[in-house]
Chains A and B, each alone.
Chain A
Amino acid sequence: MRFFRRLIREKPLGAASGAVVLVLIVVSIFATQLAPYDINDVNAKNRLQGPSAEHLLGTDHVGRDFFTRVLLGARLSLFVGLSATAINVLVALLVGGVSGYLGGKLDLMMQRFVDAWMAFPGLLLLLTIMSIVGRGLPQVIIVLGVSGGIVGSRVVRGAVIGVKENVYFQAAEAIGTRTGSTLLRHVIPNIAPILVIIFSINIGGVIISEASLSFLGFGLPIEIPSWGGLLSREGRRYMEQAPHLALWPGLCLTVTVYSMNTFGDAVRDLLDPRLRGGAGTNYGGFRSRRRGAGAPVGR
């Protein structure tokens, strides 16, 4: 509660973005109830119409109500964003935690793998993996989740190593606390803010990645009207006759990702002022921009 009061007082823009995110979530939960038409209501007489009173955002190439399709796109983007980002955090915690906590040779080897993974330009990696597992909702979520999680594990690993330097950790080791309870009592509570930050910073990028994949035809299947998919098919094929088909999905994407990022930045600033002005969307997730400084990983 105190956190939210601080958020409103210190970061009004962040709080406003948080409100937009909340509205988006509510709208996506009730998308089917809010939609004025059925998603597959085909009406060939009304194809490619511009916005009107009956069809707020016009109709697509087979006369389906475009507002309905964009609305359901919101549900998809958010669902993919939230669930894939949750997987990001879990994978980052698991990989980064094991690597940082156990250290030694295992850490060195795991970090080389993470290096290789990060060297791979995000979108190429995602495209390659998606072509292996095939299009589909679960596939997109798992692929985006795991791949961003491996990237995010770098940050978790750093945080875990940081915790290990602390006296309370060494004291816990010295009195012979079992590994499980050390992790639960000392490590995880201390890196929890990092996990929240990874979540809030990654989600925008994850949504854009899904849209990019679907746009290129490697993400969600055609039956699912995701924003990226809408842009690539209807949006591109009929863009001269019906520019609204390309305008709205992208605008919605931008507003969604903008609010997610602004909200995420505000959360990060409040939780950890040291990380101010950090990462952005990077097709694949959180990347600490504080690298450089000559600190080679795996020391």
Chain B
Amino acid sequence: MRAYIIRRLLLIIPTLLILSALVFLSVRFIPGDVIDALESRMDYLAEPLDRAALERVLGLDKPVHVQYLLWLRGIFLQGTLGKSLLGKDTVEAKIWTRVGPTFQLGVMSLLIGLVIALPVGVYSAIRQDTAADYAGRTIAVLGLATPNFWLAIMVIIYPALWWNWAPPILMVRFLDDPWESLGVFLIPSIILGTAMSAGTMRFTRTMMLEVLRQDYVRTAWAKGLRERLVIVRHAIKNAMIPVVSAIGLALPLLVGGSVIIENIFNLPGMGQLMLVALSDRDYPIVSGVNLFFGCGVVLINLLIDLIYVYLDPRIRYQ
């Protein structure tokens, strides 16, 4: 088992390095750099900006690979992701002010998604091929097919038309007023959560079905255990192990979805930051946000694999 964990940890290093290069280099190819963006915004200037001087100040005059190495050095030695090209803030400071809403949205969506997905998936499996199973599966496939941004717009339009009710749009931070804040995030989280639950539900159902066919479940039935015990103690316990990894797989979906949902519901999270930075060509921020999410996904998946080893003794003793 130790060998497995060590190998798993070692494999992370090249992945993270490639990820950082991908994140950093990709944005350097954006046509029309930040100086063009600055210039177009300041059309009141009498003379054109001093390009060379600006490039020197922003550190854009050095070759790309040098910029990349300097960036890495900054991360490792000074713990900084660089400075925003527009404004005085550092990237990490900008990210830090935006983490809260995205994190809250993510956690609430994940919880709502699991609360829907797990019971429905389990029930669908133990009543395989009944009407309830078909209903559950159809809703799941529909959930996968419905674009969450459309669902969000529908939730904003139709209740307003029919009942004169609209979801709250004024953002409230969790630390300022937890109760109010939960209310503001509830609708966005339900939309994102249901989007995530569709895949997880199908996965849970598949895993449950697989476990229900195992010998030990048959044994449990054969020795006359009540259904509840067979399902809860023997089946669910084992089916939940792979479902843990499904959470890791849902993560990128949650991140991508949060960009859209934050945009529609006006939540000042990292998705909003990213969209603004992309149109401003503020590449340090784009790289920073990408690196943050990318590393987050890699590390959480690592954590899940390690939890997995702990949960599933079959892997531990291999």
Name A's B-contacting residues (CB within 8 A). Answer: 109, 112-113, 115-125, 127-129, 131-132, 134, 204, 208, 211-212, 215-216, 218, 228, 231-232, 235-236, 239-240, 243, 246-247, 249-250, 253-258, 261-262, 265, 276-284, 287, 289, 291-294, 296, 298
A119 touches B206 (CB 8 A): no
Query: Would you call B144 and A120 a contact (CB within 8 A)?
Result: no
* B153 on the A face (CB < 8 A): yes
Choose among A122, A250, A254 the residue that contacts B153 (Cβ–Cβ < 8 A).
A250
Contacts of B22 in A (CB 8 A): 116-117, 120
Kindly state the interface size class of chain B when it binds its partner.
Answer: 35 or more
If A127-B259, A231-B149, A291-B245 touch, whether A280 touches B290 (CB-CB below 8 Å) is no
Minimum-distance CB pairs A-B, first 7: A123-B256, A250-B150, A292-B245, A277-B206, A121-B255, A258-B145, A294-B315
**Residues on the B chain within 8 Å of A278, using CB:** 206
B278/A115 in contact, CB under 8 A: no
Assuming the A-B contacts A132-B27, A284-B252, are A258 and B278 also in contact, with contact meaning beta carbons closer than 8 angstroms in the complex?
A: no
CB<8 Å pairs between A and B, sample of 9 = A127-B278, A131-B286, A132-B31, A208-B145, A218-B278, A246-B153, A256-B145, A261-B144, A277-B205
Q: Are B286 and A254 in contact (CB under 8 A)?
A: no
Kindly state whether residue B187 has any CB partner on chain A within 8 Å.
no
Most buried by A among B15, B26, B308, B315: B15
Say whether, besides A116-B15, A127-B278, A254 and B297 are in contact (CB < 8 Å).
Answer: no
Binary contact track B293-316/A, C-beta < 8 Å → 1, others 0: 111011001001100110010110
Since A127-B275, A208-B145, A250-B153 are in contact, a sample of 13 more A-B pairs with Cβ atoms closer than 8 Å, ordered by chain A residue number, is A118-B252, A119-B297, A120-B294, A121-B252, A121-B294, A123-B256, A127-B259, A131-B281, A215-B147, A216-B260, A239-B153, A247-B154, A281-B145
Q: Are B141 and A258 in contact (CB under 8 A)?
A: yes
Complex contact B278–A296 (CB within 8 A) = no
B131 within 8 A of A: no
Is the beta-carbon distance between B255 and A116 smaller than 8 angstroms? no
Alpha-carbon distance A281/B150, docked complex (angstroms) = 15
In the bound complex, do residue B19 and residue A119 qualify as a contact, i.e. CB atoms below 8 Å apart? Answer: yes
Which single residue of chain B is at the shortest CB-CB distance from A296?
B8
Q: Is B30 on the interface with A (CB-CB < 8 A)?
A: yes
Q: Is B95 an interface residue (CB 8 A)?
A: no
Q: CA–CA, A204 to B142, complex, Å?
A: 12
In the bound complex, how far is the Cα of B7 from the Cα of A208, in angstroms? 36
On chain A, the residues within 8 Å of B147 by CB distance are 208, 211-212, 215, 228, 250, 253-254, 257
Given A128-B290, A254-B147, the answer on whether A292 and B253 have CB atoms closer than 8 Å is no
For B294, give its contact among A119, A254, A265 (CB under 8 Å).
A119
Best-buried of A240, A250, A298 by chain B (most CB within 10 Å): A250
A235 to B8, CA, bound (A): 47
The distance from the CB of B303 to the nearest CB of chain A, in whole angstroms, is 13
Answer yes or no: B242 CB below 8 A from chain A CBs: yes
Whether B26 lies near A294 (C-beta < 8 A) is no
**A120: nearest residue on chain B (CB-CB)?**
B294
Contact A246 B154 (CB under 8 A): yes
- Tell yes or no: B246 within 8 A of A by CB: yes
Are the CB atoms of A132 and B315 closer together than 8 Å?
Answer: no
**Contact across chains for B144 and A280 when beta carbons are under 8 A apart:** yes
Alpha-carbon gap, A218 to B263, bound state (A): 13
Q: Report the minimal beta-carbon distance from B34 to chain A, rounded to whole angstroms.
A: 13
B202 interface contact, C-beta 8 A: yes
Query: How far does the Cβ of B143 sit from chain A's closest Cβ, in whole Å?
Result: 9
For B243, give the chain A residue with the smallest CB separation: A292
* A149–chain B nearest beta-carbon distance, Å: 16
Q: Does B289 sit within 8 A of A, measured CB to CB?
A: yes
CB distance from A251 to the nearest CB of B (A): 8
B135 within 8 Å of A (CB atoms): no
